[in-house]
Structure 1
């Protein structure tokens, strides 16, 4: 059981690294990685211009499965963590914020889906 957990952790870290590379190539600047709170976690927090993006990274065999794997419960937890980030980072409050998904597949270039789900705090 422990071995499969370690493999899943490694896959997740690789997916985050490829998502980070994609977003940097698109001109985003990393603000935080794996921002954890008691309410939830955000995989990547990035900014381009005045827009702050709270990004959930999903590694699945199909991109469609990655998008649909973000449940309403999970999106609420991400939005709660984002709210705490915004409370401590005044710059986030000056511009628009959104919730994105980066779908990662072993055989395709990662896919960035802006405004993938609504942020309900």
Structure 2
């Protein structure tokens, strides 16, 4: 059974992966009344909202396939709340997904749009 603890391990692995790629981690597990954003990072003056999905097998699909339209909408609304609270003026941003399937990490930039 997939547990919250395993999910946090996946987020930690994703965070390390992003740091190696030159991302600065701004926030983790940012919670709002509408949802949660796993990782908020910045690279090249772009604010990146990242959903991390970990799968131990492909029996039910990849991690990336688990980011439904409903989940995307929650992330977008949470990102809007984050930007309203912490960003002055317009911010260049995007939505990424990090899919961890067994031992493979796949970073999907611009996985969906607002």
TM-score, normalised relative to structure 2: 0.89
Tell me how far apart the structure 2 counterparts of residues 40 and 92 of structure 1 sit (CA, whole Å). Answer: 23
Asked if 1 retains the 8 angstrom alpha-carbon contact of 2:98 and 2:107, the reply is yes
Moved over 4 A (4+): none
Tell me how far apart the structure 2 counterparts of residues 26 and 92 of structure 1 sit (CA, whole Å). Answer: 27
Query: 5 Å matches for 1:38-77?
Result: 38-60=33-55, 61-62=57-58, 65-77=62-74
1:107 partnered with 2:77: no
TM-score, normalised relative to structure 1: 0.84
Compare the two structures and name the one with the higher strand fraction.
2
Asked if 2 retains the 8 angstrom alpha-carbon contact of 1:104 and 1:111, the reply is yes
- Cα RMSD (Å): 1.7
Asked if 1 retains the 8 angstrom alpha-carbon contact of 2:53 and 2:63, the reply is yes
Total equivalences in the alignment: 111
Tell me how far apart the structure 2 counterparts of residues 90 and 56 of structure 1 sit (CA, whole Å). Answer: 20
**For structure 1, which runs of at least 5 residues remain unmatched after alignment?**
none
